């Protein structure tokens, strides 16, 4: 919660102005019944002048009422203006702060929140919190002023009117407490239901091709319908509870008005009060009870806003688990581009299952190391430890001789570039997609990287060449084209260590061979780590690591492994048989 209040502090003066204007507006509203009383008792009934009406008094007081109402309206506009400025800017700051925090979270932390939940928090929860701030600044001050000022004004007319307020107040308070008590837990459930709904929408929009390919539209519609029904049922329960609020308060309000009329009529008959005073009393009690009614709605907003605030606080108060360890010192004299893994073990927190164990490996600067193995043996997990996407559970991972935990994460990832199998492209031009890692790169450098990635040819055939817009997630391009643009992006960055995580799987062997030839020629000084499924893709590497069951089963050149590794030979033979069958 402290992180949320920190962003609100900078707008305290605007909030104070909004509250000040609201006080002035309410004061005008509280002053009007007095003027109306004066018009009725003196201008119309002429109580002080022997029953003679005074038209001049009616007109002059009416004009003053009009001017005061205009002044109150201007104060209301000022209050609304400064309230909206405060609320909108505060919401904008929280939204940006949450997004920046999400961008700094580790993969493990992001997975724990889930994509749908993070979307809900940054959009809907921020809106709810924004509404809460605006209601507190404007509505709470208004309610408090009406209750305190209206009660004081009512008691100043006649103390007997205060008895009616004292009887009505507990009934309204019981109604508010009951509704808030029943609805408060439901708002957290409501936001969680919205999380689930957003997750299903996000999954289906991202995987629409899979849904259509497997004719699962009906199944996904049912899954969406179930989540939507849970959301609607929760909302319905909340609205049913809230529906008790206003009718009960209206009943109490009308009973109070009847009570004022009865007491007032008795006192008018006895000559203790004037009719105008009774009219003023009715107005004051209406203002008091309407203020209480508004307060009840504020408590509803408060309950929902606090549920959202807790959810946003969870994001803002979550520090990234991937931070520099200040207790570790950078190693002196380390060779740039080297990678070492010493006794590394890793297990995902979600299930605790060990994925890697007893990993010892040294990779020299400028070396091309390939990693091969069965699906699920830990290849991607192993290379994810180098740029510190995850932290090893035991052992050490070193880059340039320095433990990766001693590096600033941003500085480490400047040295290491990862090109993934799933090529993530953005809704911008091909040029901008390639230059993401080096925004200031020249056109010549972009084209050189594209040529090395075997992408320059098809890019020039696009309608606008390098300035051709890319559709969302790169869907206007084929899988092989997307992979080559992603490879060009990785090459343009010119990092000391380049990791290809099965990022050539959509390329034909001829294109892949040309790519590796360009890498050997133009990027000889770069340390290259290549994960691949095909032995044809890795057999020319300096060394090949064979992973089996989360550990290194063998390591050596293609020739050495053919002679010494049964696992490697089995992979080689099975791929030869598949090619022969084909």
Q: What is the pLDDT of residue 425?
A: 84
Name the residue with higher pLDDT: 320 or 464: 464
**Is the confidence at residue 543, as pLDDT, over 90?**
yes
**Is the confidence at residue 21, as pLDDT, over 70?**
yes
Query: Is 334 part of any domain?
Result: no
Query: Is 198 part of any domain?
Result: yes
pLDDT band at 305 (very low <50, low <70, confident <90, very high): confident
Q: What is the pLDDT of residue 535?
A: 83
Mean pLDDT, the chain, whole residue set: 82
Pairing mode of beta strands 368-373, 527-531:
parallel
What 8-state DSSP symbol labels residue 293?
Answer: H
Whole-angstrom Cα distance, residue 520 to residue 367? 10
Same domain for 570 and 472, yes or no, is yes
Domain that holds residue 256: 2-316
Tell me the CATH number at 417: 3.40.50.300
Query: Is 254 part of any domain?
Result: yes
**Sequence-separated (6 or more) residues with CB below 8 Å from residue 63:** none
Same domain for 55 and 128, yes or no, is yes
Report the SS3 class of residue 387: coil
pLDDT band at 364 (very low <50, low <70, confident <90, very high): very high
> Any idea what the Cα angle at residue 178 is, between residues 176 and 182, rounded to 5°?
120
Q: What is the pLDDT of residue 334?
A: 72
**Is the confidence at residue 579, as pLDDT, over 70?**
no
Same domain for 273 and 383, yes or no, is no
> Any idea what the Cα angle at residue 441 is, between residues 438 and 445, rounded to 5°?
115
Average pLDDT over residues 458-485: 84
Q: What is the pLDDT of residue 168?
A: 75
Report the SS3 class of residue 375: coil
Query: Is 268 part of any domain?
Result: yes
Same domain for 360 and 304, yes or no, is no
Same domain for 262 and 359, yes or no, is no
Torsion sign across C-alpha atoms 504, 507, 509, 513: negative
What 8-state DSSP symbol labels residue 137?
Answer: I
Name the residue with higher pLDDT: 179 or 467: 467
Q: How many domains does the chain have?
A: 2
Q: Where are any strands of DSSP class E within 40-125?
A: none
Q: What is the pLDDT of residue 361?
A: 92
Average pLDDT over residues 488-503: 89
**Is the confidence at residue 402, as pLDDT, over 80?**
yes
**Sequence-separated (6 or more) residues with CB below 8 Å from residue 22:** 75, 76, 79, 137, 138, 141, 142, 145
Residues present in the chain in total: 582
**Is the confidence at residue 283, as pLDDT, over 80?**
no
Q: What is the pLDDT of residue 263?
A: 73
- 239 CB-contact burial (10 Å; exposed 0-12 / middle 13-18 / buried 19+): exposed
Q: What DSSP letter does each residue of 249-272 carry, written as one string?
A: HHHHHHHHHHHHHHHHHHHHHHTS
Same domain for 308 and 443, yes or no, is no
Dihedral class, residue 300 (left if φ above 0, else alpha if ψ from -120 to 50, else beta) = alpha
Same domain for 6 and 113, yes or no, is yes
Average pLDDT over residues 268-290: 73
Same domain for 204 and 57, yes or no, is yes
- Tokens linked to 190: 């409501």
Lowest mean pLDDT among 209-213, 231-235, 340-344, 559-563: 209-213
CA 315 and chain centroid, separation: 8
Average pLDDT over residues 218-242: 83
Whole-angstrom Cα distance, residue 372 to residue 534? 8
**Is the confidence at residue 580, as pLDDT, over 70?**
no
Query: Is 376 part of any domain?
Result: yes
Residue-wise pLDDT tens digits, 40-73: 777 777 767 666 677 777 788 788 888 888 888 8
556 beta partners: 544
Q: What is the pLDDT of residue 55?
A: 78
Q: What is the pLDDT of residue 581?
A: 53
Same domain for 198 and 344, yes or no, is no
Whole-angstrom Cα distance, residue 42 to residue 51? 9
Same domain for 397 and 545, yes or no, is yes
Report the SS3 class of residue 217: helix
Q: What is the pLDDT of residue 213?
A: 66
Whole-angstrom Cα distance, residue 435 to residue 466? 11
**Is the confidence at residue 389, as pLDDT, over 70?**
yes
Whole-angstrom Cα distance, residue 275 to residue 262? 12
Query: Is 325 part of any domain?
Result: no
Query: Is 234 part of any domain?
Result: yes
Query: Is 378 part of any domain?
Result: yes
Tell me the CATH number at 153: 1.20.1560.10
């Amino acid at each position: 919660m402290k992180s949320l209040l920190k962003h609100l502090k900078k707008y305290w003066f605007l909030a104070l102005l909004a509250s000040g204007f609201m006080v002035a507006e309410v004061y005008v509203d509280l002053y009007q019944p007095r003027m109306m009383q004066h018009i009725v008792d003196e201008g119309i009934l002429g109580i002080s002048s022997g029953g003679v009406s005074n038209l001049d008094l009616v007109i002059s007081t009416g004009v003053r009422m009009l001017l005061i109402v205009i002044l109150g309206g201007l104060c209301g506009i000022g209050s609304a203006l400064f309230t909206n400025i405060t609320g909108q800017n505060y919401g904008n700051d929280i939204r940006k702060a949450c997004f920046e925090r999400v961008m700094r979270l580790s993969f493990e932390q992001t997975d724990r929140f889930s994509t749908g939940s993070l979307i809900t928090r940054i959009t809907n929860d921020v809106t709810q919190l924004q509404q809460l701030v605006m209601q507190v600044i404007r509505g709470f001050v208004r309610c408090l002023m009406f209750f305190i000022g209206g009660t004081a004004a009512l008691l100043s007319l006649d103390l007997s009117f205060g008895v009616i307020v004292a009887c009505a107040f507990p009934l309204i308070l019981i109604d508010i407490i009951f509704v808030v008590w029943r609805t408060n837990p439901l708002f957290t459930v409501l936001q969680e239901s919205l999380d689930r709904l957003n997750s299903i929408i996000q999954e289906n929009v991202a995987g629409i091709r899979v849904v259509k390919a497997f004719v699962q539209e009906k199944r996904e519609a049912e899954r969406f319908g179930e989540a939507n029904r849970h959301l609607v049922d929760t909302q319905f329960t909340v609205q049913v509870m809230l529906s008790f609020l206003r009718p009960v308060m209206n009943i109490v309000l009308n009973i109070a008005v009847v009570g004022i009329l009865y007491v007032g009529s008795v006192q008018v008959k006895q000559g203790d009060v004037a009719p105008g005073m009774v009219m003023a009393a009715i107005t004051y009690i209406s203002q008091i009870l309407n203020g209480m009614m508004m307060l009840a709605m504020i408590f509803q907003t408060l309950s929902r806003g606090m549920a959202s605030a807790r959810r946003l606080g969870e994001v803002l108060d979550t520090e990234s688990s991937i931070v520099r360890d200040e207790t570790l010192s950078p190693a002196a004299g380390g060779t740039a581009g080297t990678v070492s893994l010493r006794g590394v073990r890793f297990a995902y927190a979600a299930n605790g299952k060990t994925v890697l164990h007893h990993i010892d490996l040294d990779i020299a600067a400028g070396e091309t190391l390939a990693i091969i193995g069965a699906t699920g043996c830990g290849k991607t997990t192993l290379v994810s430890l180098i740029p510190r996407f995850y932290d090893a559970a035991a052992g050490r991972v070193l880059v340039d001789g320095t433990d990766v935990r001693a590096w600033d994460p941003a500085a480490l990832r400047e040295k290491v570039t990862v090109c993934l199998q799933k090529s993530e492209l953005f809704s911008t031009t091909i040029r901008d997609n390639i230059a993401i890692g080096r925004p200031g790169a020249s056109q010549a450098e972009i084209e050189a990287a594209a040529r090395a990635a075997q992408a320059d040819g098809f890019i020039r055939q696009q309608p606008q060449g390098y300035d051709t817009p890319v559709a969302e997630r790169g869907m206007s391009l084929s899988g092989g084209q997307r992979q080559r643009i992603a490879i060009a992006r990785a090459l343009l960055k010119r990092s000391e260590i380049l990791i290809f995580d099965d990022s050539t799987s959509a390329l034909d062997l001829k294109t892949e061979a040309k790519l590796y030839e360009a890498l050997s020629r133009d990027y000889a000084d770069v340390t290259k780590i290549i994960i691949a499924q095909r032995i044809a893709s890795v057999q020319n590497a300096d060394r090949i690591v064979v992973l089996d069951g989360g550990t290194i089963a063998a390591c050596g050149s293609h020739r050495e492994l053919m002679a010494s590794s049964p696992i490697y030979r089995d992979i080689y033979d099975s791929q030869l048989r598949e090619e022969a069958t084909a």
